[in-house]
Amino acid sequence: MDLDPATLAVAVAQGDRRALARAITLVESAREDHRDRAEALLAALPERETALRLGLSGTPGAGKSTLIEVLGMQLTGQGRRVAVLAVDPSSQRFGGSILGDKTRMERLSREPLAFIRPSPAGGQLGGVARRTREAVRLCEAAGFDLVIVETVGVGQSETMVAEMTDIFAMVLAPHGGDDLQGVKRGVMEAADLILVNKADRDPAAAAHTQGDYAAALRLMRKRPQDPEGFPCVLTVSALTGTGLREAWAAVERLWLWRRDQGHLARRRAEQRLLWFEEEFVQQALARLHRDPRLASTLRAEVEAGRLSPPEAARRALEA
């Protein structure tokens, strides 16, 4: 962490993976002096926004990690550079999952053309969004062709990931025929691809699940940013590799179509506006916390119940 931002920026831009890892650690840091250096680093990076940004969510047990690993191995085998960023929206206070993280994607993590970054320890949703966006920016500056942002399917984090990627895919295991209940309508609406994994185990169940989701998608409104045949539901098997090439071909076809039709540029413009608002919030909060007078007076009044929180907020903003 003792490299100066300009030097680190040069090393990142040269595709140095160790420098990239250090740069992400810097943007993840909660320390105030690190934040200043992180911003200097980001400002010093070349503007490179040519990567395909793929959001990927999946319920626990759907086989998301295996799928990313196998897909990543295929793509790096073709000479492409693949970065994988994990998002865990659990707050500081509420910690991670009770079982903790297993070691994941062992093969891909040894592959020189790949870069895998697990979720950091925690933080608020707004902070998680900020550092993930910045990590995506760093990976793009480092020359990765594909940046996968993956998350577990717990609602709020899927929204966040869909709002910072070009294409959003959901990975599901075949179900027993009893539900689409677990999947929120809005997540369905954001999905460009649904991958029904583990098709090797029970092809009939996978086909049945595929049919159910395809029917559910047909009930939704046609979106201008979709070519014929999208959103789509595909069956795959991360274990045997079946269907993965087709799935990737669908992702690429969709991305190129959107790029050529101008939808990609529009989506990214909208996402930049959202990022702007999120940054505004984060920076406003940082200023509030840095102001010692506000900290000592308004907070004390609120804490003691002598001033209502909305009124205190109003005074803080006027100040």
The contact set with a second copy (CB under 8 A) reads 39, 42-43, 49, 60, 89-91, 93-99, 125, 154-156, 158-159, 180-181, 183-190, 216, 268-270, 272-273, 275-285, 287-288, 298-299, 302-305, 308-314, 316-317
Q: How many CA atoms lie within 13 A of 155 on its CB side?
A: 4
Structure tokens at 82: 């693949």
Q: Is the dihedral of CA 53, 54, 55, 60 positive or negative?
A: negative
Structure tokens at 148: 């996968």
CB of 311 to a second copy, least distance (A): 8
CB of 95 to a second copy, least distance (A): 4
Nearer to a second copy, 17 or 274 (CB): 274
Check: CB of residue 125 under 8 Å from CB of residue 89.
yes
CB of 189 to a second copy, least distance (A): 7
CB of 280 to a second copy, least distance (A): 4
Nearer to a second copy, 145 or 278 (CB): 278
The residues, ordered by sequence, that sit 6+ positions from 91 with a Cβ below 8 Å of its Cβ are 122, 123, 124, 125
Nearer to a second copy, 72 or 89 (CB): 89
**For 219-262, where are the alpha helices, taking DSSP H only?**
244-261
CB of 151 to a second copy, least distance (A): 11
Nearer to a second copy, 249 or 295 (CB): 295
Nearer to a second copy, 38 or 114 (CB): 38
Nearer to a second copy, 262 or 309 (CB): 309
**To which residue do tokens 């300009």 refer?**
6
Distance CA 55, CA 53 (A): 7
CB of 149 to a second copy, least distance (A): 17
Q: Which is nearest to 24 in space by CA: 185, 109, 140, 104? A: 140
DSSP 4: -
CB of 209 to a second copy, least distance (A): 15
The residues, ordered by sequence, that sit 6+ positions from 131 with a Cβ below 8 Å of its Cβ are 24, 27, 28, 120, 123
172: left (phi over 0), alpha (psi -120 to 50) or beta: beta
- DSSP H/E element including 149: strand 146-152
DSSP 102: P
Nearer to a second copy, 3 or 188 (CB): 188
